[in-house]
Amino acid sequence: MKTKKLLALMLAGAMSLSLLAGCGGGNNGNAATDNSDESGTETTSDLAYVQDKGTLVVGITEFEPMDYQNADGEWIGFDADMAKAFAESLGVKAEFQVIDWDNKVMELDGKTIDVVWNGMTLTDEVTSAMDCTNAYCNNAQVVIVPADVADQYQDVDSVKGLSFAVESGSAGMEQVQALGANYTEVADQATALMEVASGTSDAAVIDSLMAAAMVGEGTSYANLTYTVGLNSEEYGVGFRKGSDLVEKLNEFFKTSYDDGTMMQIAETYGVQAAIIEQ
């Protein structure tokens, strides 16, 4: 089965990497973002800030099966459902805000959002700019091409001459840059798929989990398919430097994994094989 083949490829590659235990956490010596409570007293707690305003604002892009809207306009997906459950555990409500992925750190530090939670790859750039949780999900970057020419693009060398559409600031863009291939930056991975479907670009590089949900027979892009896997990687969730919400979410991940909640949500969206034990 196509999805099983992809997850097998993705997980096999992940076995060769060292599991990220986190990317800084809340105890890295950096001062937390200053907030103020109702009395005007300064505090260094992101948790207190979020609980005081009653919302956890989650920065996302449209990314099935992690964050996407249903027919009623509600944000759903593995990451969306986990974010809602985490917010509830804090006694607040999750609000979702679509962001320019290339500006995610600026949005976070400017407090337009409180967290970046959108199938975010734990790259060196990400881990140096944010405090991140433990890795919770395996992933890979894969090449998307029209199905009728897929047999021509079955290895890395064969795709280097293609023109790619990639999400600006994404792990996919990094992989295309490493190939030395030509590329066009677009707003998100969904747009990258549209570019290939319309013939504007020869190929795209997107997350394997999105590829399994979005391309191939029975999907919105039945005329597209994935071929070459370019890497193996892991997802994490990013907060402001020094945020005490990192530890809270790591604790929530552990509890929800142990009681089966995390896996139940994962099964809803078909990503259970990619979940990392907490």
Mean of per-residue pLDDT scores for the chain = 89
Both 51 and 162 in one domain: the answer is: no
Q: DSSP for 55-121, please give it.
A: EEEEEE--BTTTBEE-TTS-EESHHHHHHHHHHHHHTSEEEEEE--GGGHHHHHHTTS-SEEEEEEE
**pLDDT number for residue 29:** 38
Per-residue pLDDT of 47-106, as tens digits, reads 999 999 999 999 999 999 999 999 999 999 999 999 999 999 999 999 999 999 999 999
Residue 161 and residue 121 share a domain: no
Phi, psi for residue 245 in degrees, rounded to 5: -75, -20
Q: What is the CATH number for 175?
A: 3.40.190.10
Q: Is there a single domain that holds both residue 21 and residue 87?
A: yes
pLDDT digit string, tens, across residues 108-154? 999 999 999 999 999 999 999 999 999 999 999 999 999 999 999 99
* pLDDT tens string 169-193: 999 999 999 999 999 999 999 999 9
What is the extent of the structural domain holding 170? 141-229
Local confidence band at 44 (pLDDT 50, 70, 90 cut-offs): confident
**Alpha helices (H) in the chain, listed in sequence order:** 2-14, 46-53, 78-90, 104-109, 124-129, 156-159, 171-179, 189-198, 208-214, 245-258, 261-268
Same domain, 50 and 75: yes
pLDDT at residue 25 is higher than 70: no
In angstroms, the CA 131 to CA 28 distance is 9
**Whether residue 155 sits in one domain with residue 94:** no
Burial class (CB in 10 A: 0-12, 13-18, 19+), 207: buried
Are residues 163 and 42 part of one domain?
Answer: no
Same domain? 224 vs 241: no
Q: Which residue has the tokens 């996407």?
A: 68
**Is 88 in the same domain as 217?**
no
Q: What is the pTM of this model?
A: 0.81
Q: Are 217 and 224 in contact (CB under 8 A)?
A: no
Rounded Cα–Cα distance for residues 278 and 257 (Å) = 6
- How many other β-carbons are positioned within 10 Å of the β-carbon of residue 136? 24
Q: 91 and 224 share a domain?
A: no
146 upstream amide cis, omega within 30 of 0: no
DSSP helix/strand/coil, 237: strand
Of 214, 229, 244, the one marking the end of a domain is 229
Question: What digits encode the pLDDT tens for the residues 84-100?
Answer: 999 999 999 999 999 99
Closest to 213 in 3D by CA, of 204, 201, 222 = 222
Are 200 and 80 contained in the same domain?
A: no
- Residues 147, 133 within the same domain: no
pLDDT digits (tens, 9 = 90+) for 213-264: 999 999 989 999 999 999 999 999 999 999 999 999 999 999 999 999 999 9
Are residue 19 and residue 133 in the same domain, yes or no?
Answer: yes
The number of folded domains in the chain is 2
